[in-house]
């Protein structure tokens, strides 16, 4: 019996390490033992699919979830979910969450002294189209302080979760904005060794995506693991 | 072959993921009344100091009671898809680092070659302080097939192997703790 090909392995430096002391919370949460390498089986190459019941105007437009308009700079964020061979991933769930324009999350644990916005929750979902594309309308999140080190500030970011074709393609990441001066001081962004991989985390401003008199447009593609070149076969 | 695109790096799920990801009903994979033996799996998530981790997210992926995944690439014609079981679940830890999952025990699934894998649940694990996810598996203590499971058989360190096996407790629930670091550390997988 021939089985579908495994997914390609991560390359060195392309992903953040588990232990990265500049991000203080990794010190007690990173495993000490080396990970156990295991070749992919049906358990790894299969994964959940979400084909219906998610996409809708409220889920993809975070500015229309309340009675009034949220405060902040309206933005359009769109992009494609691709595998590393450039193939679009259709019908996959994209989940988004973020803080408001003042830098405050609608979450009880967030005690940052900045106002909540009664017209902004900050969560959305989209399902990619046949071309692998998603599109959200939201507001640009603010920067906010965190207690990683004295006077540390997170650069403005959106949190994204994406599934892809198999359980091993699951990705949770963050999208940053071009030219943000906080990026060079942010250990979460800096933790990935490869500069090319870090660049993947920064959206591109695209005037063609902006809508006149209304919202700024950003393009943000996410690239998930693709298939290994050689299928694995039973002996 | 064309050059590969650079992969998007993972970034931590952070402390506020519940805003976007928490769906309490997804912790019960039996909510649509699937076929199979109901099991409860409960435990805690602990860090390297033994302190509870109140901001972890556990994602589950498993086969149905017959041992078939609800996915286009599972072509096992002799096993039926259960329309009431999708196989995906999600649970966040509470303030004391505890979690509880209700699901059905999966059937055995094929491994590589002619091997059979013991019943198991695949886990993707996220938390503040983890820059990207960890992967592991939950096996069940009362399954004889554990003895011949290719992953378990390949782990030489006894405590690492045992860390992947949920134990049935007195109340009937299975107990499985995630120990991120140190004594009793959970075995995590490079997949």
pLDDT tens-digit series, residues A169-182: 999 999 999 999 99
For the segment B85-107, the average pLDDT, to the nearest whole number, is 97
Looking at residue A234, its pLDDT comes to 47
The per-residue pLDDT of chain B, averaged, comes to 96
pLDDT tens-digit series, residues A187-203: 999 999 999 999 999 99
Looking at residue B160, its pLDDT comes to 97
Task: Tell me if B9 is assigned to some domain.
Answer: no
Residue A149: pLDDT over 80: yes
For the segment A34-47, the average pLDDT, to the nearest whole number, is 96
The per-residue pLDDT of chain A, averaged, comes to 94
Using pLDDT thresholds of 50, 70 and 90, give the confidence band for residue A49: confident
For the segment B69-92, the average pLDDT, to the nearest whole number, is 96
What are chain A's domains? 24-224 (2.60.130.10)
Which CATH number characterizes residue B112's domain? 2.60.130.10
Task: Tell me if B189 is assigned to some domain.
Answer: no
The count of domains in chain B is 1
Looking at residue A52, its pLDDT comes to 61
Closest Cβ opposite residue B189 in set A10, A26, A35:
A35
Residue B51 CA to residue A197 CA, distance in Å, equals 33
Q: Which of A224, A207, A204 is nearest to A216 (CA)?
A: A207
Q: Which positions 150-169 of A are in contact with B (Cβ < 8 Å)?
A: 159, 161, 166-168
Q: Which of B61, B44, B39, B28 is nearest to B186 (CA)?
A: B44
Chain A CB within 8 Å of residue B81 CB = no
pLDDT tens-digit series, residues A64-95: 999 999 999 999 999 999 999 999 999 999 99
Residue A233: pLDDT over 90: no
Looking at residue A53, its pLDDT comes to 62
Task: Tell me if B190 is assigned to some domain.
Answer: no
Does the structure's ipTM exceed the value 0.90?
A: yes
Looking at residue A231, its pLDDT comes to 54
Task: Tell me if B184 is assigned to some domain.
Answer: no
Task: Tell me if B186 is assigned to some domain.
Answer: no
Task: Tell me if B191 is assigned to some domain.
Answer: no
pLDDT tens-digit series, residues B151-170: 999 999 999 999 999 999 88
Residue A235: pLDDT over 60: no
Torsion angle, alpha carbons of A188, A197, A178, A121, to 10: -50
Domain that holds residue B79: 18-179
Using pLDDT thresholds of 50, 70 and 90, give the confidence band for residue B80: very high
Torsion angle, alpha carbons of A203, A204, A207, A209, to 10: -50
Residues of A in contact with B63 (CB under 8 A): 43
Q: Which positions 131-170 of B are in contact with A (Cβ < 8 Å)?
A: 131-135, 137, 151, 154-155, 160
Would residue A157 show up in a list of annotated catalytic residues for this protein? yes
> Are the C-beta atoms of residues A121 and A65 closer than 8 Å to each other?
yes
Using pLDDT thresholds of 50, 70 and 90, give the confidence band for residue A22: very high
């Amino acid at each position: 019996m021939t089985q579908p090909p495994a997914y390609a392995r991560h390359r060195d430096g392309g992903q953040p390490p588990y232990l990265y002391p500049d991000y203080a919370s990794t010190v007690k949460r990173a495993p000490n033992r080396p990970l156990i390498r295991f070749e992919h089986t049906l358990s790894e190459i299969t994964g959940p699919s979400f084909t219906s019941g998610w996409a809708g105007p409220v889920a993809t437009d975070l500015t229309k979830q309340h009675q009034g308009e949220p405060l902040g700079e309206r933005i359009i964020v769109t992009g494609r979910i691709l595998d590393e061979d450039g193939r679009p991933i259709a019908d996959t769930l994209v989940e988004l969450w973020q803080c408001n324009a003042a830098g405050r999350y609608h979450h009880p644990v967030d005690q940052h002294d900045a106002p909540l916005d009664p017209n902004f929750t900050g969560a959305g979902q989209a399902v990619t189209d046949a071309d692998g594309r998603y599109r959200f309308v939201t507001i640009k999140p603010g920067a906010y302080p965190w207690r990683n080190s004295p006077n540390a500030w997170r650069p403005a970011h959106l949190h994204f979760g994406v599934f892809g074709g198999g359980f091993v393609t699951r990705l949770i990441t963050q999208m940053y904005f071009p030219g943000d001066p906080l990026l060079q001081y942010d250990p979460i962004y800096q933790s990935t060794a490869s500069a090319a991989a870090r660049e993947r985390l920064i959206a591109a401003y695209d005037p063609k995506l902006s809508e006149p008199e209304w919202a700024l447009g950003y393009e943000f593609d996410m690239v998930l693991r693709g298939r290994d070149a050689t299928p694995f076969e039973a002996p | 072959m064309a050059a590969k695109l650079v992969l998007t790096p993972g970034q931590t799920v952070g402390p506020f993921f519940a805003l976007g990801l928490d769906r309490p009903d997804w912790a019960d994979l039996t909510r649509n009344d699937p076929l199979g033996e109901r099991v409860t799996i409960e435990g805690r998530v602990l860090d390297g100091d033994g302190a509870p981790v109140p901001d972890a997210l556990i994602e589950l992926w498993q086969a149905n009671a017959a041992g078939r995944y609800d996915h286009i690439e599972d072509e096992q014609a002799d096993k039926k898809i259960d329309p009431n079981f999708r196989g995906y679940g999600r649970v966040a830890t509470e303030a004391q680092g505890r979690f509880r999952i209700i699901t059905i025990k999966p059937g055995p699934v094929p491994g590589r070659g002619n091997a059979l894998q013991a019943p198991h649940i695949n886990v993707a694990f996220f938390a503040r302080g983890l820059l990207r996810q960890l992967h592991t598996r939950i096996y069940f203590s009362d399954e004889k097939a554990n003895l011949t499971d290719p992953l378990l058989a390949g782990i030489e360190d006894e405590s690492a192997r045992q860390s992947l096996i949920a134990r049935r407790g007195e109340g009937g629930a299975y107990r499985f703790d995630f120990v991120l670091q140190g004594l009793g550390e959970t075995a995590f997988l490079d997949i």
